[in-house]
Structure 1
Amino acid sequence: MSQSTIRALILDDYATNAFREAQISCPQPKANEVLVRVVASGVNPIDYKIRSGNAPYAMPELPAILGTDMAGVIEAVGADIQHLAVGDEVYGMVGGVRGLPGSLAEYIAVDADLLSRKPKNLSFREAAAIPLVFLTAWEGLVDRAHVQAGQKVLVHGGAGGVGHMAVQIAKALGAEVFATVSPGKRSIVEGYGATAIDYRDVPVEQYVNQYTAGKGFDVIYDTVGGKSLDDAFAAIRLYGHVTSCAAFGTHNLATGSLRSATLSGIFVLLPMLTGTGRKHHAEILGYATRLIEEGKVKPLMHPQRFTLSEARQAHDAVEQGTGVGKVVIDIA
């Protein structure tokens, strides 16, 4: 690889939280790393939260390169790498948090444990939309709640990033799936085979009676937090399992505890931040690739395209929630 310098976006301080475009020297892969030519970088809410200084648990020391998700092509491999080779098309949630450079650059050196081969039937852009949201959904539904065929699963925020993955995964596992959505997004979750529930019009007790004969749902995945998590405690069955990737507020746990319900918090960045469980993330993305290639899961894409120099506009689109679907930045 002849590249000596590469284009990257640098964040210098959290106060102005503006990106600066720079030429930096091309990273070199260490022993357990591969060098990836980044084709596309997926944007998630955590990305703008880090950029604006609102994620103290994940923010890197500055100057830093942000960008959590990525899809690209391996250009070089470090020592000790057996399972990946130059030319492999890969994807993963790889960096942009404390200690790990992110994907808003033309090349990135990545811990090989975080990568999986990208689905053949997706473009790089679509593949870059998958990792964080699929990993978050899978950790909640499969690793924690062990969703089984025939169970009734409710997803709060079923048309969102994590939500639309959770709905599709639960469906692929054979569950009967329900999802709360705003009226304008009904068709999204119905398209995945789920029953849409308008959370603004229908009280919890009403949909629990209507869809579970008053018993409650077996598993509820809350992707929204706040009142949505309180609603989950009120809608879970006895001994049921609530998982949430948004349980960051203050809640009264009595409603759920009186039903002996389990609550699992999901914090998908832990393997990147701690080094623990990274291989499992690659494993989960292996399942993602299989489900995607079988046609059981597909990303919902925001139609607008963004280049590297338009990364800030891409962040703003996610923050303002103006679009429906996952926002991706084209790097190559």
Structure 2
Amino acid sequence: MGHQAGLVIDKPGEAFWVVRDIRPPSPGKKQVLVKSQFVALNPIEVLMAQSGILTTEMPAILGSDFCGIVDEVGSDCTKLQVGDHIFGLCRLGQNPYSPFQDRFLVDEDLAFKKPERVDAEVAASVGVGVLTSAYGIIVGGDVDLPKPGQEVKSKDEWIVVLGGSGTVGQYAIQLARLCGYKVAASCSTANVPTVERRGANASFNSRSSPQDQAEEIQKITSGDFSLVFDASGVSQNAALAALKNSTRSKKYFSTVDDYTKIDVPSDIKEYRVEAGHLGRDTTLGRQVTDEAARMIPLLEGHIEYGAIVPVDCELYKESVWGALAEAIAYFQAGHAKKKLIVRVQD
């Protein structure tokens, strides 16, 4: 096989540039080679590019969210075949698995098959958000994820989502609701319609002090909640203040912040979302990967049924690898008002 194009950085902090001499990887057991069509941008690409965190080699090929077409199938694959459209979250920071190149590897057990009802560019926006929220709600809160189409009895209990209008927060609201819980979500006053559209039963101001947020949560829920999920990664003080008022015997705090030291009381079970370890051959990596492989078939079904709806997206104006570098700068400057998608190949 010849060489292929992609977008790389030579060192942390340096600019992205297009190269055309990348050797395509070959799929191993239970893996597929995927032609990258669309990628979505997330803060993690900027963080990896600036700091080198999670990258395993330099020059580095990055990326996280993707949608593409299966081009080659490795041995022992049973779910996927050539021509299938798939999407998901890649193994972060590992060059052969990174979607900022013509073709890259995907583990079959970590791939979502794209349903007919979801366009390819929209599907590219789903993987990071839906998996991160599933870790935070399902794993972090010890919540049962129902089968697609299963009727779930509504519960009196609430789940609190901090940062409800962000990508992860919007998926977290939907997940909590399909699991039968009522949802109280924090957001700015301007984003109240967004969290309501995703199914939140009540909202409160994310810009209030942690104590004021805790008091508002108490008014809404009367303390009938056990899980607070910080989907923003910056609201741990509000989360812990709120959990002091919980009337439940079991209390859970989950967060996307996987690095800040947080003093969590001993009566609260703490969970950090560690999606960056997906696919890594470590104890934590294997645990995170097994959890994803267990949840993905169910999440895939909920997306197909329409119980989980993708967030609003915007498609960047160009469709070549060089334009992806422009799109990253556009994203980093804060110009994107919706989830930013880039078509990288036809």
TM-score (norm 1): 0.88
Offset at residue 248 of structure 1 (A) = 2.5
Q: Unpaired runs of 5+ in structure 1?
A: none
Offset at residue 326 of structure 1 (A) = 1.9
Task: Choose from 198, 201, 205 the match for 1:198.
Answer: 205
Question: Where does residue 36 of structure 2 map in the other structure?
Answer: 38
Deviations 1:223-268 (A, max 9, x none): 2234x11110111215321111115323333xx44xx221111111
Alignment of 1:309-328 (within 5 A): 309-328=322-341
| Cα distance change on mapping 1:216 and 1:250 into 2, 3 Å | farther
Comparing 89-98 with 129-138, which one deviates more in the overlay?
Answer: 89-98
Question: Where does residue 229 of structure 2 map in the other structure?
Answer: 221
Q: For the residues of structure 1 that align with 2:135 and 2:312, how far apart are their CA atoms?
A: 22
Question: Where does residue 147 of structure 2 map in the other structure?
Answer: none
Deviations 1:296-316 (A, max 9, x none): 211213324253322233333
Contact 1:38–1:108 (CA<8 Å) still a contact in 2?
Answer: yes
Task: Choose from 116, 128, 142 the match for 2:138.
Answer: 142
Question: Where does residue 95 of structure 1 map in the other structure?
Answer: 91
Q: Secondary structure, in 3 states, of the residue corresponding to 1:76?
A: strand
Contact 1:116–1:283 (CA<8 Å) still a contact in 2?
Answer: no
Matched, 1:276 2:286: yes
Contact 1:92–1:282 (CA<8 Å) still a contact in 2?
Answer: no
Offset at residue 174 of structure 1 (A) = 1.4
Identity among equivalent positions (%) equals 23
Q: Secondary structure, in 3 states, of the residue corresponding to 1:297?
A: coil
Contact 1:222–1:229 (CA<8 Å) still a contact in 2?
Answer: yes
| Cα distance change on mapping 1:155 and 1:313 into 2, 3 Å | farther
Offset at residue 291 of structure 1 (A) = 1.3
Q: Which amino acid aligns with 1:17?
A: A
Offset at residue 319 of structure 1 (A) = 3.5
Task: Choose from 162, 168, 171 the match for 1:165.
Answer: 171
Offset at residue 98 of structure 1 (A) = 3.9
Contact 2:92–2:98 (CA<8 Å) still a contact in 1?
Answer: yes
Task: Choose from 224, 239, 243 the match for 2:254.
Answer: 243
Q: For the residues of structure 1 that align with 2:314 and 2:84, how far apart are their CA atoms?
A: 27
Matched, 1:210 2:219: yes
Question: Where does residue 28 of structure 1 map in the other structure?
Answer: 26
- Report the aligned-residue RMSD: 2.3
Deviations 1:18-61 (A, max 9, x none): 23342433332233321111111122211111011152xx1231
Comparing 198-207 with 124-133, which one deviates more in the overlay?
Answer: 198-207
Task: Choose from 3, 7, 10 the match for 1:5.
Answer: 3
Matched, 1:300 2:298: no
Offset at residue 170 of structure 1 (A) = 0.7
Deviations 1:73-109 (A, max 9, x none): 1111122223321112212212341464410112112
Q: Secondary structure, in 3 states, of the residue corresponding to 1:147?
A: coil
Question: Where does residue 117 of structure 1 map in the other structure?
Answer: 113
TM-score (norm 2): 0.85
Contact 1:47–1:68 (CA<8 Å) still a contact in 2?
Answer: yes
Deviations 1:150-173 (A, max 9, x none): 220111111112111101111111
Deviations 1:276-323 (A, max 9, x none): 143542442322221122222112133242533222333334434443
Q: For the residues of structure 2 that align with 1:210 and 1:54, how far apart are their CA atoms?
A: 44
Contact 2:72–2:82 (CA<8 Å) still a contact in 1?
Answer: yes
| Cα distance change on mapping 1:115 and 1:206 into 2, 3 Å | same
Q: Unpaired runs of 5+ in structure 2?
A: 145-153
Question: Where does residue 160 of structure 2 map in the other structure?
Answer: 154
Q: For the residues of structure 1 that align with 2:330 and 2:176, how far apart are their CA atoms?
A: 28
Alignment of 1:57-76 (within 5 A): 58-76=54-72
Q: For the residues of structure 2 that align with 1:79 and 1:68, how far apart are their CA atoms?
A: 25
Contact 1:11–1:62 (CA<8 Å) still a contact in 2?
Answer: yes
Q: Secondary structure, in 3 states, of the residue corresponding to 1:80?
A: coil
Alignment of 1:175-190 (within 5 A): 175-190=181-196
Offset at residue 117 of structure 1 (A) = 1.2
Q: Secondary structure, in 3 states, of the residue corresponding to 2:326?
A: helix
Q: For the residues of structure 2 that align with 1:188 and 1:165, how far apart are their CA atoms?
A: 12
| Cα distance change on mapping 1:309 and 1:295 into 2, 3 Å | same
Q: For the residues of structure 2 that align with 1:224 and 1:303, how far apart are their CA atoms?
A: 21
Q: Which amino acid aligns with 2:260?
A: G
| Cα distance change on mapping 1:15 and 1:139 into 2, 3 Å | closer
